[in-house]
Amino acid sequence: MAFARLLESKAHLIPGGPGFQCSPPQNSSITNAVLDKGYQMLYLDQRGTGLSTPISAATLALQGDSNRQADYLKLFRADSIVKDCEAIRRTLTDEYPTELKKWSVFGQSFGGFCVLTYLSKYPHGLREAFTSGGLAPIGQSPEAVYKATFKKVAERNKAYYKKYPEDVDAVHGLAFHIKSKGGLKLPSGGILTVRGFLTLGRHFGAHGGLDSVHDLVLRMKRDLEQFQFVTRPTLSALESAVSFDDNVLYAILHEAVYCENEASNWAADRVGKTLREFQWLSQSPQSPSSVREAPLFFSGEMIYPFLFDIFPELERMAPVADIIASYAGWGELYDTWQLARNEVPLYAATFIDDMYVDYGFAQETAKLVKNCKQYITNSMYHDAIRSKTEGVMKELFALRDDSID
């Protein structure tokens, strides 16, 4: 069952993810900006999230064995999400006059991927579309996606250590402490391993992300200096920053969103292990003597098999995740023939320094979509729709209201 929060209803928000619900309208950064432009708003909890039959280990187990659970989860990608959107649109506008039956959609990040699927499959239902950091890498394999995004992650690591050079030693010291303890027990029962700790870099792509990771490193370091152990408040903050136990769909389907007629086979893990900066994916950190020459690089938002060994909720779903990773029967999400003939205006905010949606691939996608206009900037990051809402919305509406000719 899909659940939508309705503020009347002529514009429709598709959140990021996969596997993240909408914030309540009063907490959403774009609500006032959109209402002030005369739109009415509908917020959709994507299937499997929020109030739309949420997925957890317990709710998924109701489907049966691991194979049945995996078959169920195959119905939670963008193609299924836009079917829900279109069904809701048809229901809401059933008694509307023809000229009012279309609506506008806004997609952030993965929500933008869904917008492109919507434009591919149900363009007749759309009046216009907006995306922020959401031009999907159409036609790219999961391996190509991760090769590109690992490069950006490496750049952000260099920026991190340039801003906080003292963390070169601190991160190595914390890694060796975690290893010496066999991992740190987290409040929920999970174990923070060295590899789990090094996934904190997923926050590097957001405004303030470098600072938030440094804060956690500093808290851990201070705890060890004062108490010789990491305190519960710090462990809780770490758990919140690295665990996907409350967003299991994100972990299980993250690579599947890039698959068309192929299996991902844990692409991020395979690509990362070939890169010198991320050798910790397959071996222990370097010895202290090499600290200065080789600071430990954090990973980005990539999902790895080991995450299903260290977090309790994910551990229960590990067999399902393996089935999903090896599944090669994914259907096509985008219709390039239709996109090349697209008549629905698409207004896209695109970020040159986006760590999650590669800028180069985004430009290739923009060339595939007729009637796509972009606001491109190197002064914002991927989460700008939340962190710099006014600036992003101003530029998107300027694209809507401006005419080149």
Q: Which residues are annotated as catalytic? A: 109, 354, 382
Find the radius of gyration of the CA atoms of the chain: 22
Q: Are 89 and 114 in contact (CB under 8 A)?
A: no
Cα–Cα distance measured from residue 250 to residue 328, given in angstroms and rounded to the nearest whole number: 19
Q: Residue 185 is inside which H or E element, if any?
A: strand 184-185
- Which among 148, 164, 141, 108 has a CA at the least distance from the CA of 295? 164
**Would you state the structure tokens that stand for residue 48, as one six-digit string?**
């499997």
CB distance 334 to 134 below 8 Å: no
Q: What is the DSSP secondary structure assignment for residue 265, as one 8-state letter?
A: S
Q: Which long-range contacts (CB under 8 A, 24 or more apart) does 29-33 make?
A: 29/385, 29/386, 29/389, 30/106, 30/385, 30/389, 30/393, 31/7, 33/389, 33/390, 33/393
Cis peptide, bond prior to residue 187, ω within 30 of zero: no
User: Distance (Å, rounded) from C-alpha 302 to C-alpha 202?
Assistant: 8
Distance, CA of 385 to CA of 89 (rounded, Å): 24
Distance (Å) of CA 230 to CA 99, 343, 401 = 61, 56, 53
The CA distance from 390 to 380, in Å, is: 12
Q: How many residues does the chain have?
A: 405
Quote the CA–CA distance of 401 and 228 in Å, as a whole number: 59
Cα 150 from Cα 275, distance rounded (Å):
9
Closest to 290 in 3D by CA, of 174, 172, 155: 172
Is there a contact between 286 and 294 (Cβ–Cβ < 8 Å)?
yes
What tokens were used for 216?
A: 């956690």
